[in-house]
Every structure is written in C-alpha cells, then in structure tokens.
Amino acid sequence: MLNPVPDPLFARRASLGAGLVMLLLLCVSATGFNPALLTDPATLASLAGFTAQFWPPALGSTLLAEVAAATVTTLACATLGLALAMLVGAPAAYFGCRTLGEAALSHTRAQPLAAAAGALLRGVLVAMRAVPEVVWALLFVRAIGLGTLPAVLALGVAYGGMLGKVYAEILESQPPENARALGAAGAGRLARLAYGVLPGALPELVSYTVYRFECAVRASALMGLVGAGGLGLLLDNSLKMMNGAETATLLIAFLLLVGAADATSRLARQALATPRGTTALALAFASAVLASLWQLDTLWQGGVANADALARFAAEFWPPDLSASLWATLAEALWQTLAMSVLGTLLAVLVAVALALPAAGELGVLLQLAARALLALLRGIPDLVWAMLAVLALGLGPAAGVLALALHTSGVLGRLFAETLQNTPAECRQALAVAGAGRATAFAYGVLPQVLPQWLAYTLYRWENNIRSASVLGIVGAGGVGGALFFALSLFQMPTAATLIVAMVMLSWLAETASARLRAQLG
C-alpha cells in the first residue's frame, strides 16, 4: 500500500540524492578513478611483490643509523620551525590584537593609518597560512637549494601565519575590562598585555603552541619529499627504488615519531596544570631550540646570509602569468583537484562508517581492537605518503590522489564517527530493544538520527581539509593543481607558478565558505 500521506521532505531528499549521484559520476570521470584497476592482476602482482618485502623490515646498522640521524634532523627542523613561527606570530598578534589597541580603550574609531596597518598585517598573515607548508618548502628549496633550512623557513612562514591569527583570537577572547581599567590608569600597551590579558590567556596560548608542535613534527617529516631533508628524504629514496624492506622501516619510524609527538604533547598539556611544570616546559623548549640550532648549524653553511638571492627569487614571480593558454590548464587542474577531494571524501565516509561500528564496540571487543588498530594505521600515515604508495599501485594521476585521500581520511573520520557513537546516550535504543526491535533496527531508529548531523559536520570539515591536501598531492605525482605547480617550478616558470598558487589559495577559500554555509544550514 502506498503511503496516502505524502512526505513533505520527499522531493527535497530525492533531488539531493540525485544531485549527489550526478556529482559522484562527474568526479569519477574527472579523476579517472576506477576501483577495478586495483584488482588488475598486473598491478596486484607488482604491489604484492613490493609489500611482500615489507616483512621483515630492513634493520641493517647503516640504515638504522641513517634513520636515527634523519629523525633527529626532523625533530630539530620542527623545533626551529615552530620557534621561528612564534617569533613571527607573537609580535603579529601583539600588534594585530584589536582589544589591546587605543581604539578599544576609549571605544573610538581607530586612526585611519592604524586601521590600514592592521588590515595589511592580517592580509599578510592570511597569505602566509593559506599556502600549504609543503608548497612553501618547495618554493624555498627552489630559492636557496636543498637542505634543512627550507624546511625550517617553510614551517616558520606557514605556522607563523597561523599562530599570528590564533594568538590574536585568544587574546581577544579574554574579558576586555581588565585591559581597559589598566589603560584608564595610564598603563601602556605592553603593560596592558602583561598585567591585564596575558595571565588569563597564557594557558590557552601555550596549549595551542604545544598542539602546533605536534603538527610541526608531522609536517617536518614530510618536507624531505620536496628535498628539504629529514625522514621524508629517506622515504622518497626507498620508494623510488621500490625497496619494500626499507620503506617498512621508515614507515614504522614515522609512526613511532608521530606517536611520540602525540605523547609529548599530552604530557606537556598536563605539565601546564602546575607552575613548576610550566617552568619545566619553558626550560625544555628553550634547550630544545638551542640543541636544534647546534644540530643544524653545520648543515646550513651561511644560507641565511643569502637574503639577496631570496629577494631576487621572489621578484621573479611578478607579474603573474595571465595568458589565455594558461587558463585552460588552470581550469582543468582546479576541477581535477575539486573532484579528487569530493570523491576521496565520499569514499572515505563509506569506509569510515564500516569501521566506526566495530571501533565503537558494537561488534565485540576483538573486532573493536582490530578496527581501532586499522584506523590508527590509516590516519597515522599522512596523505602525501599514501599518495606515493598509491602512485605505485595506480600509476601517476588523479586516481592515485583519490585513493590516497580516501585512505587517510577514512582513518580520521572513522575515529571521529566512533567517538560520536560512544558519546550517544543509550536510552533511545534501549527502549526500542525492550519493545522487541532487533540490533540493526534499534540502531537505525534509536542511534542514527542522533549521530547523523555530527557525522555530516565532520565530513564537511574534512572535505575542506582535503581540498587543501588535494592541491599538494600533485607534488608526488597524484594529479591536481599541485602537479602543475611542481612542473612550473621545475621549469623555472615563476609567473605561471604565481598564478597557480593564487588559484590554489582561492579554491580552498571558496571551499571553506561553501562548507561553512552548508554546516550553518544543518543546524
């Protein structure tokens, strides 16, 4: 019997579903992603041959010494990069923070000059953080040559932009009365900061910096893929030589390093709770910076003195290439990037849901442990590394990018989805169970409506992130606008590179805006 009462949402849902299917088909055709390729016997054989070498991992003493040295380099780069970012971000926040200014003090309009300077500062910070750190590294490698200095500079610039913005936001989130009262008593800007704002804001400032350190370690380990030293350089070499045993060793080292960074960050946040711990943390960071300087000193060989070369290099980017011939390439590269991010995210959602159910303990303890381990592996290996492996399996091109994004994202989303499931109160499903509902139906009627909006919001956030990822995967040959950029930089076509970078930044800005709109509609 057909339902005589028409569902008022039916038309909207049907068109939404049809639109989604259309989008999926478009993305599949744009990226040439064909899951059947993965079952191609020739591909499978070469992949099996490669992964068969993974066990046992290479443990020769020369390699281990090399890995240890590269790990130290990676850590040193991350530490110095973060220190540089703090040197950039802290003053930027101090001058950019609106609640510290004279205007906020007396509730008057800012001086036109001060307002213009503030806007300029914010614009520079936006540009610094909008270009992904790997792209910065690529640019610095081209400007001053291979080595660890480009990695430090790249982290300093990209994270400096982020810290400048977030530090200012944290300062602005403090209650303004304290600073205003001090200002009314004649205190200067620095005194207002030190006595009125900093005491309340410090824990959050430090905690965010610690989180950024964790990210810096992960990013620094990848800088080698574009020739900027550290673990990534070794990984790049062993992958290019199809040396499975070495690759396995490096992947393990990478996972251990990321795990250690995670643990350090958690420890540091605990230390923040006591004044003694805070002092210890500050001392530890200062000595880490000094040790890193000493460690990398010999490797730099006067690179810093080469500021002239840097300026000349930057000048080559102006004016950007706006010729008609570039537009077609650009449009195709951007569309490919977009398609990669959408398809990768959608595939990841399917895998994430399938893994989140066991990971949340729905199907027993044994499957829970297995699912969690798999999720940790999927998200522990960054998308750039997945992309290098995917290129081996699927060949160069956007299809490898889709696979890489799908693998990494399913690890991230799977964990978030599982957490949502575990945080959902059990009453609804329990009531359905005592009314005789089966497991699947009790889940669909009692749990799913509660978790679905959260899952959707996470998916959109991750898609924003994946647009940014998709635009750099091309650096290792996995399609998208990153590939065109890598190509242009290799041929020293700086004006073309400038246009591509601007387009890349605009695409991710558009995606952010669209996703924010969609999320607001979910409400």
Partner 1 sequence: MSLTLAAASLTRGKRRLLDGISLTLAQGEQAALIGPSGAGKSSLISLAATLAAPDGGQVSLLGEAPWQLGARARRALRARIACVWQSPPLPARQRVIHAVAAGRLGQTGTLAALARLMLPRDGSAIERTLARVELAHKLWARSDVLSGGERQRVGVARALYQAGELVLADEPVSALDPYLAAQTVRVLCEDARARGATLLMSLHSVELALAHFPRIIALRDGRVAFDLPASEVDEARLAALYEGDSPAGPALSSPATALTPARC
Which listed range, 98-106, 228-236, 445-453, 466-474, lies at the site for partner 1 (CB under 8 A)?
445-453
Question: Phi and psi for 435 in degrees, rounded to 5?
Answer: -95, 10
**What is the nearest approach in angstroms of partner 1 to the Cβ of residue 462?**
21
**What is the nearest approach in angstroms of partner 1 to the Cβ of residue 424?**
9
**What is the nearest approach in angstroms of partner 1 to the Cβ of residue 343?**
24
**What is the nearest approach in angstroms of partner 1 to the Cβ of residue 11?**
13
Question: Phi and psi for 157 in degrees, rounded to 5?
Answer: -70, -55
**What is the nearest approach in angstroms of partner 1 to the Cβ of residue 450?**
5
**What is the nearest approach in angstroms of partner 1 to the Cβ of residue 354?**
16
**Nearest C-alpha neighbor of 94 from the set 127, 113, 117:** 117
Q: Is 19 among the residues that bind partner 1 (CB under 8 A)?
A: no
At CA 465, angle to CA 461 and CA 470, rounded to 5? 140
- What contacts 53, CB < 8 A, 6 or more positions away? 243, 244, 245, 247, 248
Using CB under 8 A as the binding rule, the residues of this chain from 406 to 435 that contact partner 1 are 427-428, 430-435
Residue type (1 letter), 14: A
User: Is the CB of 36 or the CB of 440 nearer to partner 1?
Assistant: 440
User: Is the CB of 282 or the CB of 426 nearer to partner 1?
Assistant: 426
**What is the nearest approach in angstroms of partner 1 to the Cβ of residue 436?**
2
Pick one of 441, 491, 506, 509: the residue that binds partner 1 (CB under 8 A).
Answer: 441
Residue 518 has a CB neighbour count (10 Å cut-off) of 14
Q: Is 68 among the residues that bind partner 1 (CB under 8 A)?
A: no
Could you give the count of Cα atoms lying within 13 Å of 267 in the half-sphere of its Cβ? 9
Distances (CA, A) of 12 to 355, 444, 516: 30, 21, 21
* x/- track of binding to partner 1 for residues 447-476 (CB under 8 A): xxxx-xx-----------------------
Which listed range, 7-15, 99-107, 157-165, 233-241, lies at the site for partner 1 (CB under 8 A)?
7-15
Pick one of 7, 102, 297, 332: the residue that binds partner 1 (CB under 8 A).
Answer: 7
**What is the nearest approach in angstroms of partner 1 to the Cβ of residue 425?**
9
User: Is the CB of 29 or the CB of 423 nearer to partner 1?
Assistant: 423
User: Is the CB of 124 or the CB of 457 nearer to partner 1?
Assistant: 457
Q: Is 5 among the residues that bind partner 1 (CB under 8 A)?
A: yes
**What is the nearest approach in angstroms of partner 1 to the Cβ of residue 15?**
14
**What is the nearest approach in angstroms of partner 1 to the Cβ of residue 2?**
8
Q: Is 3 among the residues that bind partner 1 (CB under 8 A)?
A: yes
Pick one of 156, 161, 358, 446: the residue that binds partner 1 (CB under 8 A).
Answer: 446
**What is the nearest approach in angstroms of partner 1 to the Cβ of residue 360?**
16
Using CB under 8 A as the binding rule, the residues of this chain from 218 to 277 that contact partner 1 are none
User: Is the CB of 316 or the CB of 419 nearer to partner 1?
Assistant: 419
**Nearest C-alpha neighbor of 417 from the set 346, 367, 343, 357:** 357
Counting residues that bind partner 1 (by CB under 8 A) gives 31
**What is the nearest approach in angstroms of partner 1 to the Cβ of residue 405?**
29
User: Is the CB of 406 or the CB of 432 nearer to partner 1?
Assistant: 432
**What is the nearest approach in angstroms of partner 1 to the Cβ of residue 211?**
31
- What contacts 447, CB < 8 A, 6 or more positions away? 421, 424, 428, 429
Which listed range, 198-206, 236-244, 354-362, 444-452, lies at the site for partner 1 (CB under 8 A)?
444-452
Question: By the 8 A CB rule, do 236 and 247 touch?
Answer: no
Pick one of 438, 506, 510, 513: the residue that binds partner 1 (CB under 8 A).
Answer: 438
**Nearest C-alpha neighbor of 101 from the set 10, 189, 11, 2:** 189
**Nearest C-alpha neighbor of 211 from the set 154, 265, 285:** 265
**Nearest C-alpha neighbor of 132 from the set 515, 475, 487, 489:** 475
* Total residue count of the chain as it appears in this document: 523
Using DSSP's 3-state secondary structure scheme, residue 101 falls into coil
Q: Is 436 among the residues that bind partner 1 (CB under 8 A)?
A: yes
Question: Phi and psi for 198 in degrees, rounded to 5?
Answer: -60, -45
Q: Is 127 among the residues that bind partner 1 (CB under 8 A)?
A: no
Q: Give the separation between CA 164 and CA 126, rounded to whole angstroms.
A: 9
Pick one of 72, 367, 437, 518: the residue that binds partner 1 (CB under 8 A).
Answer: 437
Which listed range, 205-213, 250-258, 402-410, 446-454, lies at the site for partner 1 (CB under 8 A)?
446-454
Angle separating helix axes 244-271 and 61-96, nearest 10 degrees = 40
Pick one of 1, 48, 324, 520: the residue that binds partner 1 (CB under 8 A).
Answer: 1
Cα 264 versus chain centre, distance: 19
Q: Is 523 among the residues that bind partner 1 (CB under 8 A)?
A: no
Maximum pairwise Cα distance, the chain = 82
Pick one of 113, 440, 520, 521: the residue that binds partner 1 (CB under 8 A).
Answer: 440
DSSP 416-471: HHHHHHHTS-SHHHHHHHTTT--HHHHHHHHTHHHHHHHHHHHHHHHHHHHHHHHT
Q: What would the two tokens of residue 69 be? A: 């040295």
Question: By the 8 A CB rule, do 482 and 475 touch?
Answer: yes
- What contacts 382, CB < 8 A, 6 or more positions away? 218, 222, 408
User: Is the CB of 185 or the CB of 435 nearer to partner 1?
Assistant: 435
Q: Which parts of this chain interact with partner 1 (CB under 8 A)?
A: 1, 3-5, 7-10, 427-428, 430-438, 440-442, 444-450, 452-453
